[in-house]
Structure 1
Amino acid sequence: MTKIGDSSPPKIGEGSSSGAAERVMANSSVVELPLLTRTNYHEWSLVMQVSLEALEQWDAVEAVSKDRGKDRRALATIIRAVPREMKAGLAVKKSAKEAWDVVKKMHAGDDRVKATSVQRLMKQFENMAFRDGENVGDFAMRINGLVASLRELGEEMEDSRVVKKVLRVVPKRLKQVAVAIEMLADIDTMEIEELVGRLQVAEDADAEDQAASSAEHAGQLLLTEEQWEARRRQRRGKEHAHGGVGEKGGGHDDDDDDGSSTSSGRGKKRYRGKCFDCGVRGHMARDCPKKKKERALLVDVDDEPTLL
């Protein structure tokens, strides 16, 4: 960065105009000038305009100044903020305005290139959306930078257009807030800074609610684990007290059920284990219907007369 005003300015000459110039330079605070590069023209031009305004030289850039001294000082300021290879070419220009326009044309291009740049940036603007986990402040910085580039190229980007764009793409957690703002506020006159402030307040409140909800949910999960552990201890105690199945001739499956019986209406108990003979649950081997059927068939065969 090149500093202007941090050292005593050279004497320009005698007379009222030179005296005024010396007073301006002496009374101005230190002004840091950005150095122009191949990729930062838009930012450079914005900061340079502010710097020239602070030095009371911007009017000489907007239009050719009749004040020769002011025009030369504005040209000198521009030359200090460009790379070494551009200084000689700008120093021979007739006015500060001409030098400024040359720099602008070199980096912004002619009307055709300018139109292409506007189309590209407008497409980025229309497709712009919140990234995963991006907060309102970071998104506002991105969209404001894009809007500044469009305005520098001459595109009219009113705040109301930017406000409506932001309200359309807010993340799901802020949708209700966006709807409320659209219904209750005048978004046609709202500035983007005001909208960002409102959304940030809602975002902070939502983050606090989520933190409180997470803490409460964690407590509930801990309580559930304790309850399940108590139930498991109680169940193991009951199984130990029953000591398994006490009936003879039956069997049980060690994989799933413990072979105990359950009540199934009218005071009767139903066996829950597997039969050793057929493998079907719900009865013991001695009560197996398949075995009974086989015995019945055997009896029928024995009762038939023997054929000679």
Structure 2
Amino acid sequence: MASETFVQLAIPCFDGHYDHWNMLMENFLRSKEYWHVVSEGITEPTDNATMTQAQRTELDGQWLKDLKAKNYLFQAIDRSILETILCKDTSKHIWDFMKKKYQGSARAKRQQLQALRTEFETLQMRSGESIIDYFSQTMAIMNKMRIHGDKTEDVTIVEKILRSMTPAFNFVVCSIEESHDIDELSIDKLQSSLLVHERKFNQQEKEEQALKASTENHLATRGDRGRGRSRGRGRGNYDRGNQHQHQHQH
């Protein structure tokens, strides 16, 4: 009873990733000695009347194996998929249907995954881009990759983000790498740390801009005053000069 339960649990269930399931299921059926009827099918003689008893026994054995193989396939494949299989006469019919329907889509998925991996590897944070936007973009690509079967671990994503930040974050990245075990650093924690530093950067930038504007205003005001005094002194000297010249003439 226990061994029967184990056998039931060992059946590889189709999870949408055809190539992986195909490999596991073929190996499973080979271990049960049913693979021949699944891959080759059953060849019945054209004239049953001329069959010997041994041939009849052999054929019955083939049909029994096919029945058991079908039973395993029924358990491995979801009902919603089984309902789309028009011909379920033999295990070979079911196997060929799965191959035709899902192997092509598996190839397309591999191509899409490769394109997403390239996009992920070449992704760089743009100058002026916020931490929130960069993390969102990175995780959007990663989630698409995972939908297509990618098994990239979080530590790889953390390392990717750290090495693709803008130069403004170089000091912060070094600080994080020195103070944290990268293998244990979660994506959320990394984002939180970088957000704290981003807020400091932004605050510092605002203060520097405010100081710069204040200094420029102060210098402009002093310049205006200086020009005003200079103009005043010029007019006074000019008026006194004219007055002196007028008295001399008289």
- With normalisation by structure 2, the TM-score equals 0.53
Q: How does 1:192-203 map to 2 (within 5 A)?
A: 192-203=187-198
RMSD between superposed Cα atoms in Å: 3.4
Deviation at 1:116? Answer: 2.4
2:134 counterpart of 1:139: yes
- 1:92 is matched with which residue? 84
Match of 1:176 in 2: 171
- Give SS of 1:109's match: helix
CA distance in 2, matches of 1:239, 1:105: 94
The one of 86, 106, 111 aligned to 1:110: 106
Paired residue type of 1:198: S
Residue matched to 1:130: 125
Return the offset for 1:91.
Answer: 3.6
Determine whether 1:225 maps to 2:217.
no
User: In structure 2, do the counterparts of structure 1 residues 239 and 176 end up closer, same or farther at CA, with 3 Å as the change threshold?
Assistant: same
Counterparts of 1:65 and 1:190, CA distance in 2? 43
Q: Which amino acid aligns with 2:213?
A: A
Which of 214, 227, 231 is residue 209 of structure 2 equivalent to?
214
Asked if the contact 2:155/2:183 (under 8 Å) is kept, the reply is: yes
CA shift, 1:186, in A, is 0.9
In 2, the alpha carbon distance for the partners of 1:192 and 1:198 equals 10
**Distance (Å, rounded) in 1 between the aligned partners of 2:73 and 2:188:** 35
**Structure 2 Cα separation of the partners of residues 172 and 138 of structure 1:** 17
Separation of aligned partners in 1, 2:208 and 2:223: 23
What is the correspondence of 1:280-299 to structure 2 with a 5 Å cutoff? none
> Structure 2: how far apart are the matches of 1:243 and 1:212?
47
Paired residue for 2:231, among 217, 236, 242?
236
Instruction: Note the C-alpha offset of 1:189.
Output: 2.3
CA distances 1:107-148 after superposition (whole Å, capped 9, x unpaired):
x8233x333223211211121112343211111111111112
Q: Distance in 1 between matches of 2:180 and 2:196?
A: 16
| Pair 1:205–1:231, CA change in 2 (3 A) | same
Pick aligned residue for 1:157 from 152, 156, 159: 152
User: 1:167: Cα distance to partner?
Assistant: 0.9
Q: Report % sequence identity.
A: 25
Alpha-carbon offset, residue 161 of structure 1: 1.3
Maintained 8 Å contact 2:126/2:166: no
Q: CA deviation at 1:154?
A: 2.8
- Cα distance between partner residues in 1 of 2:219 and 2:83: 80
The aligned residue for residue 10 of structure 2 is: none
SS of residue paired to 2:184 = coil
Cα distance change on mapping 1:212 and 1:64 into 2, 3 Å: farther
- CA-CA distance at 1:239 after TM superposition: 2.4
Do residues 119 (structure 1) and 114 (structure 2) align? Answer: yes
What code does the residue aligned with 1:169 have? S
Q: TM-score, normalised by structure 1?
A: 0.44
CA contact (8 A) 2:116 2:145 kept: yes
From the two aligned structures, give the one with the greater helix fraction. Answer: 2
Tell me how far apart the structure 2 counterparts of residues 196 and 115 of structure 1 sit (CA, whole Å).
Answer: 30
Q: Distance in 2 between matches of 1:155 and 1:198?
A: 27
Task: Describe the superposition over 1:4-41 as per-residue Cα deviations: whole angstroms up to 9, x where unpaired.
Answer: xxxxxxxxxxxxxxxxxxxxxxxxxxxxxxxxxxxxx9
Query: Aligned pair in 2 of structure 1 residues 202, 212: CA closer, same or farther (>3 Å)?
Result: same
1:297 — aligned with what? none
Distance 1:213 1:64, change over 3 A: farther
Larger Cα-atom Rg = 1
Structure 1: runs of 5 or more not aligned: 1-40, 42-62, 76-88, 247-308
